[in-house]
């Protein structure tokens, strides 16, 4: 379901002194241990938690070398 090294757009429910709200942010998954996702910034998220809403993979950006390969192939 998740890939290490891939960036995702996470949405989780966050409790504050003003009540509950959704928090959305993007981060790279650096390690996976069952339902636990360690993010590149050191945060650990339990994807089985009732406060976990969603994680959508973000489109991968082409590196300069990959872009050059694509341009060469289409020429």
pLDDT of residue 46: 98
Domain-embedded: residue 59:
yes
pLDDT of residue 60: 76
With 0.85 as the threshold, say if the pTM is over it: no
Range of the domain at 54: 7-74
pLDDT of residue 72: 55
Domain-embedded: residue 2:
no
CA 71 to CA 75: how far, in whole Å?
6
CA 37 to CA 3: how far, in whole Å?
10
Q: What's the domain count of the chain?
A: 1
CA 2 to CA 39: how far, in whole Å?
12
Domain-embedded: residue 33:
yes
CA 33 to CA 49: how far, in whole Å?
14
Note the Cα 65 to chain centre separation in Å: 24
pLDDT of residue 21: 96
Which residues of the chain carry a pLDDT beneath 70?
61-75
pLDDT of residue 1: 85
CA 73 to CA 61: how far, in whole Å?
18
Domain-embedded: residue 56:
yes
């Amino acid at each position: 379901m998740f890939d290490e090294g891939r960036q995702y757009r996470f949405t989780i429910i966050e409790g504050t002194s003003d009540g509950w709200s959704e928090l959305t942010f993007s981060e790279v998954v650096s390690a996976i241990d069952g339902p636990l996702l360690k993010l590149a910034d050191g945060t650990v998220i339990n994807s089985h938690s009732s406060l976990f809403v969603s994680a959508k993979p973000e489109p991968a950006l082409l590196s300069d070398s990959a872009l050059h390969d694509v341009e060469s192939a289409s020429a």
